[in-house]
C-alpha cells in the first residue's frame, strides 16, 4: 500500500460511550425514531438522543437485542420503547411510524439507519443481491420519510445514513456503493420537497466505524495499517456518528438541509498512489 498518511499522526480523542458528550435537555419533549437501532451505529444514535431528552423508538428485526437497548436507556433515566419491524416490508414501515406517533403523540426526528451490505461485483451481482440492498438501504428510507413527514412539523428533521462509499469506493462492493450514492441524491430531493412542511433532511456519510462486523474484519488485517489510513489516526466509533446525528437534528443546524456530512476521520481526503488499493489484500 502507498505510504499516504504521515507516520507521526496524533490520534484524535476517542470515546465508545455515545452519551459522554450529550447535551442535556436538547431534545426535551421531542420524539426520535431510529431504524436499525438494536446494535452498532443505530444503537449509539438512539442512546445519544435519549441522553439528550428525546423519547426514542428503537426498532429492528430481533426483539431481544432491541428490548435490551430499551432497558439500558430506561435504566439511565431515558424514555424508550421497542417496535419490531423489517425495513424490507413496506407495511411494517407504515405500522412502525404509526406506532411511534400513537405512543408519543408526534414525531420530530427520523433517523433512517437500517442497512445491509453485500460483497459482489456489478458483473456477478444477482437480482436477489440488488433487491436485498435496495429494499433495505434505499426504498425503506424513502418510505420511512414519506410516512414520517405526514406527522412532522416545522423544525423536524430526517437523517439518512449513507457512507463514504457514496463518494469513493473499492472493487466488489456492488450494489452497496451504488445505493449509498443514491441516498445522497435522495436526501437533496427530500430536502426540497419536505421544505414545505419546514422539515430538514440531511445525510451522514460514515467511514470505517468499529462495530461487530468491522471488528471481525479487523481481526484479519493489520489494525495499525488501517488506522494509519486515517488522518485522525484512528477509526470511528458509534459515538462519533451519534454526536453528528444529534447536531444535525438539533436547532444548532437549523440552516442545514440537503447536505451530506462525511464522518470518516478524513479517510476520503487521502489520495492513493495505487489505483486499486485493497486493505484486505495481504502482502
Give the residue from 193, 163, 195, 154 showing the smallest Cα distance to 261. 163
Q: Decide if 19 contacts 47 (C-beta within 8 A).
A: yes
Distance between CA atoms of residues 34 and 72, nearest Å: 16
Q: Determine contact, residues 236/130, Cβ cutoff 8 Å.
A: no
Of 60, 39, 52, nearest in space to 79 by CA: 52
Tell me how far apart the alpha carbons of residues 97 and 150 are, in angstroms, rounded to a whole number: 10
Helix (H) or strand (E) holding 188, with range, is helix 176-193
Cβ-based neighbours of 162, under 8 Å, separated by 6 or more: 180, 183, 184, 187, 203, 204, 205, 206, 260
Q: Catalytic pick from 104, 176, 276, 279?
A: 176
- Whole-Å CA distances, 82 to 64, 70, 73, 193: 10, 7, 11, 30
Identify whether the C-beta of residue 166 lies closer than 8 Å to the C-beta of residue 264.
no
For the chain, the straight-line distance linking the first and the last C-alpha, in angstroms and rounded, comes to 9
Number of residues that this document lists for the chain: 283
Q: How far is CA 207 from CA 141, 162, 163, 186, in A?
A: 19, 9, 6, 19
- Annotation says 104 is catalytic: no
H-helix or E-strand containing 58? Answer: strand 55-60
DSSP lists the bridge partners of residue 157 as 109, 200
Which residues are known catalytic residues? 176
Amino acid at each position: 500500500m502507498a505510504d499516504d498518511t504521515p507516520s507521526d499522526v496524533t490520534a484524535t480523542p476517542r470515546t465508545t460511550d455515545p452519551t459522554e458528550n450529550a447535551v442535556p435537555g436538547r431534545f426535551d419533549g421531542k420524539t426520535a425514531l431510529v431504524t436499525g437501532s438494536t446494535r452498532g451505529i443505530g444503537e449509539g444514535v438512539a442512546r445519544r438522543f435519549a441522553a439528550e431528552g428525546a423519547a426514542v423508538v428503537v426498532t429492528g428485526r430481533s426483539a431481544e437485542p432491541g428490548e435490551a437497548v430499551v432497558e439500558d436507556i430506561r435504566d439511565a433515566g431515558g424514555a424508550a420503547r421497542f417496535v419490531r419491524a423489517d425495513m424490507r416490508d413496506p407495511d411494517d414501515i407504515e405500522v412502525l411510524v404509526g406506532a411511534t406517533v400513537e405512543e408519543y403523540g408526534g414525531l420530530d426526528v427520523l433517523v433512517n439507519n437500517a442497512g445491509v451490505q453485500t460483497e459482489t461485483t456489478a458483473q456477478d451481482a444477482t437480482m436477489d443481491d440488488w433487491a436485498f440492498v435496495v429494499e433495505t438501504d434505499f426504498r425503506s428510507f424513502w418510505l420511512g420519510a414519506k410516512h414520517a413527514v405526514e406527522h412532522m412539523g416545522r423544525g423536524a428533521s430526517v437523517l439518512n445514513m449513507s457512507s463514504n462509499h457514496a463518494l469513493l469506493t473499492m472493487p466488489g462492493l456492488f450494489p452497496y456503493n451504488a445505493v449509498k450514492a443514491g441516498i445522497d441524491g435522495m436526501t437533496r430531493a427530500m430536502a426540497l420537497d419536505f421544505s414545505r412542511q419546514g422539515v430538514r433532511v440531511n445525510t451522514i456519510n460514515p467511514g470505517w466505524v468499529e462495530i461487530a462486523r468491522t471488528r471481525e474484519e479487523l481481526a484479519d488485517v493489520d489494525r495499525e495499517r488501517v488506522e494509519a489510513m486515517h488522518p485522525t489516526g484512528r477509526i470511528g466509533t458509534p459515538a462519533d456518528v451519534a454526536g453528528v446525528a444529534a447536531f444535525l437534528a438539533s436547532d444548532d443546524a437549523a440552516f442545514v438541509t440537503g447536505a451530506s456530512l462525511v464522518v470518516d476521520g478524513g479517510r476520503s481526503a487521502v489520495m492513493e498512489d495505487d489505483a486499486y488499493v485493497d486493505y484486505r489484500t495481504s502482502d
